[in-house]
């Protein structure tokens, strides 16, 4: 069975917790949180001491000359992520009305700022390079199209992956490659970041579509994640209504050179097929609603591989956290209880060699759960 909470925080000052990020550094776990409205600042929780501290950060747009016209303006964060490039704890944060910027968590120093005119962000995620390096990935929802990949400490300007409106991001590594999964208004796409190639385009089945085909309303992809499953990949997506869909993919094809792409497009044209290699993979259908058990909608999810077993961790409006076997959709252990209100966000991390889940929500508390199987 899955263990109980290792740590439980006191209530975070300010409003309910809207987003969290967690990372292990030097054997200790650091959790960073923002409230729903993004105006209560950034708070750092250190579980071992159960101490909250307010992280005072310089205004991300201070370097923009236009900002001088708004002396009372300050940071308004909705989304954040953490990384440890070169041993330096770096925070990436932005929101619905602020572009992404980067700070040193320990010193509060602004590493790289932004401007008042954006691009605003709808999500931010950490991309592990597998060699101690780290990048951040952002999307901007309805504000801008595309996915941006950033090197916050050093390096060139961000790399853009062309994409339609993206509202949710997940990252992972597979066969030595850095992958990004994006939740778009049409479905889910999978990208090889280093080659800039889209590996898969997947349709999400619309919960708002009646049997007669009439569209009763689009559903936004609220969260996405990937995990290695056997020799292939599993892609997990959560819609606004709380429906979860899973696609299982074989090992993605290797990246192709420009010449190979041109040859394949020519073959498709000669065969009378569309030359767009990014057409959705219609033959790969999702498994709908694989996780049944929450007494209400699923509001957040994350993936992790524990002892070679891919699992999904979900948080719900019922205030519980649940752990599922990704292979068959069955619950692992009993619901993890303790939150007194909806769970808004769950992320996974490590702590002294053990996999943990970190959850937070409307009750303003953070809980750290041990995901390692417990001895009977």
Q: 39: burial class by Cβ within 10 Å (0-12, 13-18, 19+)?
A: middle
Asked if 333 and 310 count as a contact pair (C-beta separation under 8 A), the reply is: no
Nearest to 222 by CA among 346, 366, 337: 346
Q: Encode 20-42 in three state secondary structure.
A: EEEEEECCEEEEEEEECCCCCCE
139-158 as b/e, with b when 16 or more CB fall inside 10 Å?
bbbeebbbbbbbbbbeeeeb
pLDDT at 175 over 60: yes
pLDDT at 141 over 70: yes
- Pairing of β 309-316 and β 298-306: antiparallel
> pLDDT above 90 covers what percent of the chain?
56
Would you state the torsion angle of the CA atoms of residues 258, 260, 262, 265, taken in this order, to the nearest 10 degrees? Answer: -140
pLDDT at 131 over 80: no
Altogether, the residues listed in the chain come to a count of 376
Q: What is the CATH number of domain 6-204+233-297?
A: 2.130.10.10
| Cis bond upstream, residue 119 (ω within 30) | yes
- Give the C-alpha distances (Å, rounded to integers) separating 166 from 53, 224, 226, 234: 33, 11, 16, 19
CA–CA gap between residue 5 and residue 80 (Å, rounded): 24
Tokens of 370: 């041990």
Taking residues 76-84, report their average pLDDT: 94
Nearest to 300 by CA among 276, 316, 286, 320: 316
Q: What is the pLDDT of residues 57-71, one digit of tens each?
A: 999 999 999 988 888
Taking residues 99-114, report their average pLDDT: 94
Residue the block writes with tokens 């009993």:
334
Handedness of CA 361, 295, 246, 330 (dihedral sign): positive
Asked if 356 and 28 count as a contact pair (C-beta separation under 8 A), the reply is: no
Res 232: pLDDT:
87
What are the residue boundaries of the structural domains of the chain, listed by start? 6-204+233-297
CA–CA gap between residue 286 and residue 235 (Å, rounded): 9
Confidence of residue 285 (pLDDT cuts 50, 70, 90): confident
Res 205: pLDDT:
75
Confidence of residue 277 (pLDDT cuts 50, 70, 90): very low
Continuous H helices in the chain = 258-270
pLDDT at 254 over 90: no
Asked if 163 and 213 count as a contact pair (C-beta separation under 8 A), the reply is: no
pLDDT at 350 over 50: yes
3-state secondary structure of 65: helix
Res 180: pLDDT:
96
- Mean pLDDT value across the chain: 86
CA–CA gap between residue 41 and residue 78 (Å, rounded): 10
Res 289: pLDDT:
78
Residue the block writes with tokens 């041109």:
262
Tokens of 193: 């970041």
């Amino acid at each position: 069975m899955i263990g109980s909470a290792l740590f439980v925080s006191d209530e975070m000052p300010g409003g309910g917790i809207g987003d969290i990020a967690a990372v292990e550094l030097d054997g200790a776990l650091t959790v960073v949180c923002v409230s729903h409205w993004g105006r209560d600042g950034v708070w750092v929780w250190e579980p071992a001491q159960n101490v909250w501290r307010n992280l005072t950060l310089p205004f991300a747009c201070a370097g923009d000359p236009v900002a001088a016209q708004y002396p009372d303006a300050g940071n308004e964060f909705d989304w954040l992520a953490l990384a440890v490039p070169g041993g330096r704890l770096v925070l990436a944060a932005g929101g619905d009305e602020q572009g992404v910027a980067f700070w040193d968590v320990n010193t509060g120093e602004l590493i790289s700022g932004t401007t008042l005119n954006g691009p605003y962000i709808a999500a931010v995620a950490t991309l592990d390079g597998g060699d101690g390096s780290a990048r951040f990935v952002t999307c901007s929802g309805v504000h801008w199209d595309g996915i941006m990949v950033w090197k916050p400490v050093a390096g060139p300007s961000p790399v853009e992956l062309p994409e339609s409106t993206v509202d949710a991001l997940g990252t992972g590594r597979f066969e030595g490659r850095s992958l990004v999964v994006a939740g778009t208004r049409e479905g889910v796409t999978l990208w090889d970041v280093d080659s800039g190639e889209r590996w898969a385009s997947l349709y999400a089945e619309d919960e708002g579509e009646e049997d007669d085909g009439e569209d009763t309303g689009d559903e936004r992809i609220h969260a996405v994640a990937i995990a290695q499953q056997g020799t292939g990949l599993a892609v997990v997506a959560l819609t606004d209504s709380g429906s979860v869909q899973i696609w299982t993919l074989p090992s993605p094809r290797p990246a192709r050179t420009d010449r190979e792409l041109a040859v394949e497009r020519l073959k498709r044209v000669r065969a009378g097929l569309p030359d767009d290699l990014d057409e959705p993979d219609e033959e790969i259908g999702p498994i709908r609603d694989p996780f049944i058990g929450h007494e209400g909608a699923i509001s957040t999810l994350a993936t992790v591989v524990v002892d070679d077993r891919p699992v999904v961790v979900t948080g719900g409006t019922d205030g519980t956290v649940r752990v599922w076997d990704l292979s068959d959709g069955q619950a692992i252990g009993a619901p993890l209880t303790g939150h007194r209100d909806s769970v808004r966000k769950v992320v996974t991390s490590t702590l002294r060699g053990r996999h943990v889940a970190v959850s937070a929500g409307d009750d303003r508390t953070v809980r750290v759960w041990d995901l390692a199987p417990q001895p009977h």
